[in-house]
Structure 1
């Protein structure tokens, strides 16, 4: 099980699968993620690899792939298009640009089972896939809001950091956060509800780029010295530990006093280190390894025509400095 990038690598893998000997009997279960430069998705790959090792005599092989960069939305669409052309038994997609990926699936109308993983299609396109496996992203935003309200009961000024503009999972988290803080569904922006106000210039969009995420944080802290809360709806900035440490160094006094709070998505090892070091106050974590480990089994069930629930949620972990050593699911 190798990490592959781009169309040529996909072609190579499929050629190997269709080769001679035992490999000829293997059918491909493809997992396509937003970008291989994101350590979050590497956990999905590790789950895929574990399934592969535990099922050596299976008729199927787990293929993990995606564009080299998480910013390459068009590249991800091209990879899925290429996989459908060359032939796979089933496919699990984490769409970076959900409308664009939905349009591809509409146009291709594949006969193979299509599911989403980690990120879903937009609501209008969910009939294009059989099930979604991953986080309840709206609930993830709700949990972030609950912790923000606990830490800042009187509210304050806040900046939300999002990913790609068209990423359904990130937008769902933002909706859960805003709706919960405001106490009203469909809240597009916080303008004083429960004492919370989004500052000018926010939300900021990282396009899943960790360097940009850290620069946005630094710029926001500099321009808004009285900011009360910064919410990383995803963990982008924390995926570059050294850069994130440098950014938070400039506000450590405020973080220690909780004058400024940081709440972030995901609980990868460098993020937990940041939490324990006081560089964030809450980490609300997904379970990407479980997603990658379960996806092949779900795809086989779909191929066999078995009934599969929709959605299939993988749960959340809520971590604070006080619970950092025991908060992660085993």
Structure 2
């Protein structure tokens, strides 16, 4: 072998070794990058449920979700929280249909409209998937159970609170979240029945907010312009009372207009503390979510479950709230 050949062979061998070294190094880097440092534990679930809210970003439904997730964690359930971002009955129906098509073990949902939800729930149950209604019942459907507020009773309580808190002639305007939703219809009906024998109380307007802050404010503003004689408002959804309070404040009529709302969102409680909202109906959304998951598990196990479970409902006023630091400072002064 010539000297030149020997050198060429040596250089070639060196380049091959360098090439191999780079290949091994980078190959090792890619493999170790793709592989996890430790084996991940695969969580095992006993059941797969879907909770379909009226609207996902609603603070009230976030509390229902919290209760459902806590129960799911305790009982080994994979829980999906899925539905329309803003109230939309068509999107709500589609979510239920998709959940049923994916063969989940159970569906928890509102029974918003008899016309659309009763046949839908019946189809889902016929396919072998149990349905529990939450917050709003679909009593005429084949749903297996309902857990939530007695919405007629809640509206009736609101009417009785207005009677107790007011005197003389009262002209009431109602802003309701929806004309088609069962629970809103029941709240309005309960309120109307509570006050109908009181000759001094007249309901002069009923408007729909579509579960929208903007719409609720628009309706409240319209009512005050069209009916300056209004001396009381009833808001049947969490957002209605809040936006009524904003509009009443804008017109500087806090002392002239009585407001009763729904639920205990932080903003609602703030308006109660300052005296703009006089009372609100309290529901138990966390209790609904937690109880719905537990009911569904019992149903799948073949245990006997009550057809209807009404969660707690009551009226609270400023006197029922704990004293805030701001209130303490005001008293000290």
**Class of the TM-score when normalised by the shorter of the 2 chains:** 0.7 to 0.9
Say if 1:53 and 1:238 are closer, same or farther in 2 by CA, change over 3 A.
farther
1:118 aligns with 2:135: yes
Q: If the length of structure 2 is used for normalisation, what is the TM-score?
A: 0.79
* Correspondence list, 1:203-282, <5 A: 203-238=206-241, 246-252=246-252, 254-256=253-255, 259-282=256-279
Say if 1:107 and 1:294 are closer, same or farther in 2 by CA, change over 3 A.
closer
Q: Compute the displacement of 1:244 (Å).
A: 5.8
Structure 1: stretches of 5+ with no match in the other structure: 1-19, 184-192
Q: Deviations over 1:68-100 (max 9, x none)?
A: 111x11000010011111111111111333421
Q: Deviations over 1:174-198 (max 9, x none)?
A: 1111111114xxxxxxxxx522222
**Residues 233 and 265 in structure 1, CA contact (< 8 A), matched pair in contact too:** yes
Say if 1:237 and 1:179 are closer, same or farther in 2 by CA, change over 3 A.
closer
* Correspondence list, 1:91-106, <5 A: 91-106=107-122
Q: Compute the displacement of 1:155 (Å).
A: 4.2
Q: Deviations over 1:289-328 (max 9, x none)?
A: 11112211111011111111121111013211121228xx
Structure 2: stretches of 5+ with no match in the other structure: 1-39, 324-333
CA distance in 1 between partners of 2:121 and 2:74 (Å): 31
Which residue does the alignment assign to 2:106?
90
- Based on CA coordinates, which of the two structures has the bigger radius of gyration? 2
CA distance in 1 between partners of 2:288 and 2:231 (Å): 34
Q: Specify the SS of the correspondent of 1:255.
A: coil
Which residue does the alignment assign to 2:315?
318
CA distance in 2 between partners of 1:24 and 1:215 (Å): 49
Q: Specify the SS of the correspondent of 2:101.
A: helix
Q: Compute the displacement of 1:251 (Å).
A: 4.0
Q: If the length of structure 1 is used for normalisation, what is the TM-score?
A: 0.80
- The one of 43, 65, 72 equivalent to 1:52 is 72
CA distance in 1 between partners of 2:265 and 2:246 (Å): 19
Which residue does the alignment assign to 2:146?
132
Q: Specify the SS of the correspondent of 1:322.
A: helix
Q: Deviations over 1:6-45 (max 9, x none)?
A: xxxxxxxxxxxxxx97456442122111111321111111
Pairs aligned (count): 283
Q: Deviations over 1:206-264 (max 9, x none)?
A: 1111211112112212322221111001122356xxx6664232344x433xx310000
CA distance in 1 between partners of 2:322 and 2:42 (Å): 44
